Amino acid sequence: MLKNIHSNRIYQIILISTVLGFITPIISLFSKLKSRTNWLNEIKEFIDNEQIISILNYISLIVPSWHYENSGLAAFHYYIKWSIYNLLILTLIILCRKKLLIIISRIKNLYKNNTIILSAIILCIFVFNSKVFLGFYFSGIPGWDYSNNRGFGSSSWGERQYISKQYIKKDKLIVDQKLQNLLLKGVNLQNAKNILTNTSIRGVVIVAHTVDAQYCINDGISGIVFPHRYVENNNKGPWLDIINYRLNKQKKYNTIWKKLRYPDHTVYMDIDEGIYNERENLIKIEYWDVEVTEIEDNIHITDAKLIYLHD
């Protein structure tokens, strides 16, 4: 079929992909916002105009919705920029139709004997412009930078909300010694000493309990890619079962294979190997929001708050 495809038809495919790439991000944005209960309030934070808000509200009524409550919403600028990019490309495609047809014709002639490669080229352009996700192929990893990511309040577990560094010297310990000793197992003391100088940092310590032992772990045990996305949205989900299931499997790995196996896509810090020798299953997992402070060359937990409990 593609062997005799006319350049005009290829041009039309590119045109359609560009139109899709222009329209879909906007529709998707509306669809996604609609699925969120507070979407109007979220919009109001950005647009302070009642008329525009009411127009947007009206549009949202006629836009179909295919998103779930938990559907990730990228920053608005992604959707806007994708649309603007495609609008520019659309303008170029229409204005430079003749030149584009010549290029298409040359490429078509070059690959006229191999429709698979010609199809792949058309697929590449279609996927990139339309931003359609085909599973085995998509429009590439999105771009980002670290310009607004100044470290404090932006890293570690849960990516954003759980770490914050404070330049306040603490000299009073409000966490009792037993809990302190337990939570300190979830802190790399050497790195903390090197990095914190008379300062505090907030982060998360995850404590896994068996009947008579405790271990500081991380979500990496689950083997799920970006597990915090799951935990954050499902703090009452079967997390304990997932961790126990994976732990029991990993306990069977021998030491050499543990080192040789291909690491998971999201790699986490090393945890206490003792947990792999534990015979008992975990009975609960606690997520503690802690404040780690360096006081006179020693590291202390100066504040601790239980944020999630899976039992």
Residue 114 is encoded by which pair of tokens?
């191999």
What tokens appear for 24 in the block?
């879909």
| CA-CA-CA-CA dihedral for 118, 106, 133, 26, to nearest 10 | -150
Give me the phi and psi of 205, to 5 degrees please: -115, 125
**What token pair was written down for 35?**
């699925």
Q: Which of 245, 276, 307, 308 binds other proteins (CB under 8 A)?
A: 245
CB of 54 or CB of 124, closer to other proteins: 124
The β-bridge partners of 214 are 209
Q: Which is nearer to other proteins, 7 or 35 (CB)?
A: 35
Closest by alpha carbon to 242, among 264, 219, 258?
Answer: 219
Q: Which residues of 244-278 are buried (b: 16+ CB within 10 A; e: fewer)?
A: beebeeeeeeeeeeeeeeeeeeeeeeebeeebbeb
Q: Is 241 in the site for other proteins (CB under 8 A)?
A: yes
The least CB distance from residue 138 to other proteins, in Å, is 6
- The answer to whether residue 129 forms part of the interface with other proteins (CB under 8 A) is no
Which residues, 249 to 268, sit near other proteins by CB under 8 A?
A: 249, 261-268
**Site residues for other proteins, window 9-48 (CB under 8 A)?**
24-25, 28, 32
* Binding-site string for other proteins from residue 88 to residue 107, where x marks contact by CB under 8 A and - marks none: --------------------
**Closest CB to other proteins among residues 152, 276:** 152
Please give the size of the binding site for other proteins, defined by CB under 8 A.
102
Is 186 among the residues that bind other proteins (CB under 8 A)? yes
Identify the residue among 47, 52, 195, 306 touching other proteins (CB under 8 A): 195
